[in-house]
Amino acid sequence: MAPEVSSLAQTPVTAHAFSPDRTQLAASLNSNGVQIFSRSGADWIPSETLSEHDKLITSIDWAPNTNRIVTASQDRNAYVWQETPDLETGKLIWKPTLVVLRINRAATYVRWSPKEDKFAVASGARAICICSFDSENNWWVSKQLKKPIRSTVLSVDWHPNNVLLAAGSADMKARVFSAYIKEVDERPAPSVWGSKLPFNTLCGEYSSPSGGWVHSVGFSPSGDVLAFVSHDSSINVVYPGGPTVYSVRMPTLPLVTLAWLSENSLVAAGHDCQPLVFLGSEGGWQLGGSLDDTSGPKTEAARPMGSSPVVGRLKAGAFATFRDADSRGQSTLGSGSGSSTTDTKLLTLHQNTITSVRPYEHDGVQVTKVSTTGVDGMLVVWDANDVTTGGINTLTGKVGGMQLR
């Protein structure tokens, strides 16, 4: 099945999240507003903008059961958005509720817990805010996980038991904490991560193999396995019962985001502009292939919906020549033909870094589709079962395979 490709904007897509029925999309277009898109056939049409933040929105999550959106921003704030009827018109509008974070640096990442009664906000203040609702004051209050975090927290992910939380940070560590809140949570059952889990208990700490920032973390569907990707171009899978850590090292650009497909497979993406599938078990892990076919140039059919080769109304040949020379370092002068060179056209669908990969469709057993957004402003929905094993390319398309160590 061919990927579904859409061009959302001419600006980077910082974060994205889908509504429970997949008919709406919330995206941060590298700005301080959340753009809500509604699906119309094969296209995504902007329908509403959520404006409350003062600075760039860094992360978005959409709760599938309660239909609430939570946003985090560089303005050190987070807001929970809920659809409520307007008192004057009766029309449903998104109303924000303030979250009291008490941090003095940017909020970098946010995720709802599985039961959606709390959420975690990572920050540059060397702390993670665990937020729950205070019905008396009608706002969300937070407790902070701090020790032993030594730098900016870049990502978080919840364990299925609603208590444990994984975090990756710029101090080159992936950690598992207890985020147990007595007033909210039931006492969790013992697991491979421990049995006594008071708030801020450190259940596991794992280092990046060569000292790179940990960009993304994720628990497997059972919660018994942890994966994280770091800036040293490695992906690491942790089995705490051993404990065993499998590290797949690659001579490519770093991965920055990941999502589990099943207990034995996950997809990760980043600066190489293509989603890579990794397969394994407690016996070992390896690269399985790519969801993108990079064996040849993309056809016109693969062009993003609504996009065109030239942006704007100036389409003269001279303008195109100077534009390409300025932005891409291309030149057609002296080539003897009027066509532009294509030496900067990547063989991947995404033409720049993939910033986010998220599960899109689940068949009850495993994730069957995933969605990606990137710096190129594109949204792509991939069939997770359509894995290409040959022609895995680096950003320049010069390296033909990966090295597993």
Check pLDDT > 80 for residue 320: no
Residue 259: C-alpha distances to residues 113, 210, 268, 313 (Å): 16, 22, 6, 40
Half-sphere exposure of 303 (CA within 13 A, CB side): 8
**Residues 6 or more apart whose Cβ sits within 8 Å of residue 26:** 16, 17, 18, 19, 34, 35, 36, 37, 50, 60, 62, 69
The pLDDT of residue 323 is 66
Whether the pLDDT of residue 343 is over 70: the answer is: no
Where are the CATH 2.130.10.10 domain residues in the chain? 4-262
- Torsion angle of alpha carbons 244, 123, 81, 30, nearest 10°? -100
Q: Hey, what long-range contacts does 23-31 have (CB within 8 A, 24 or more apart)? A: 25/379, 26/50, 26/60, 26/62, 26/69, 27/60, 27/373, 27/379, 28/56, 28/57, 28/58, 28/59, 28/60, 28/71, 29/377, 30/56, 31/56, 31/57
For position 353, what pLDDT does the model report? 97
The amino acid that residue 9 corresponds to is: A
Residue type, 180: Y
Residue 330 in this model has a pLDDT that exceeds 80: no
Q: What percent of the chain has pLDDT over 90?
A: 75
The confidence score (pLDDT) of residue 243 equals 82
CB 227 within 8 A of CB 221: no
Mean pLDDT confidence for 320-328: 66
- Confidence band, pLDDT 50/70/90 cuts, at residue 223: very high
pLDDT of residue 351: 95
Distances (CA, A) of 314 to 131, 311, 339: 49, 8, 17
Above 80 in pLDDT, residue 208?
yes
Is the separation of the CB atoms in 18 and 24 below 8 Å? yes
Q: How many CB atoms lie within 10 A of CB 363?
A: 8
Q: Residues 366-383: what's their mean pLDDT?
A: 97
Give the pTM: 0.87
Q: What is the DSSP letter of 389?
A: -
The whole-angstrom separation of Cα 149 and Cα 129 is 13
With a cut of 60, say whether residue 86 has pLDDT above it.
yes
pLDDT more than 70, % of the chain: 85
Sign of the CA dihedral running 391, 230, 31, 21: positive
What does the pLDDT read at residue 302? 55
Rounded distance between C-alpha atoms, residue 251 and residue 391, angstroms = 15
CA 403 to chain centre: 25
What Cα–Cα distance (Å) separates residue 257 from each residue in 5, 115, 139, 215, 318? 19, 23, 31, 7, 40
29-43, 59-73, 255-269, 329-343: least confidently modelled range: 329-343
Cα separation, 12 vs 259, in Å, equals 20
pLDDT at residue 307 greater than cutoff 70: no
Report the pLDDT value the prediction gives residue 296, as an integer from 0 to 100.
Answer: 73
Give the pLDDT band (50/70/90) at residue 294. confident
What span, in angstroms and rounded, lies between the C-alpha atoms of 398 and 401? 9
CA dihedral 208, 212, 215, 217 (to 10 degrees): 0
Q: What is the pLDDT of residue 124?
A: 98
**What pLDDT does residue 394 have?**
39
| Rounded mean pLDDT, 94-110 | 96
Whether 339 has a pLDDT exceeding 60, the answer reads: no
Of the candidate ranges 104-113, 244-253, 299-308, the one whose mean pLDDT is the lowest: 299-308
- Candidates 305, 394, 386; CA nearest to 347 is 394
**Residue 95's beta-bridge partner residues?**
82
Describe the chain by its helix, strand, coil percentages, rounded to 5: 5, 45, 50
Evaluate if residue 130 carries a pLDDT over 50: yes
- Residue 398 pLDDT > 50: no
pLDDT digits (tens, 9 = 90+) for 141-175: 999 999 999 999 999 999 999 999 999 999 999 99
Phi, psi dihedral angles at 322 (to 5 degrees): -70, -35
Residue 394 CA: distances (Å) to CA of 21, 190, 276, 290: 35, 43, 11, 11
The reply to whether CATH 3.20.20.120 applies to domain 4-262 is no
What is the length of the chain? 405
pLDDT recorded at residue 395? 37
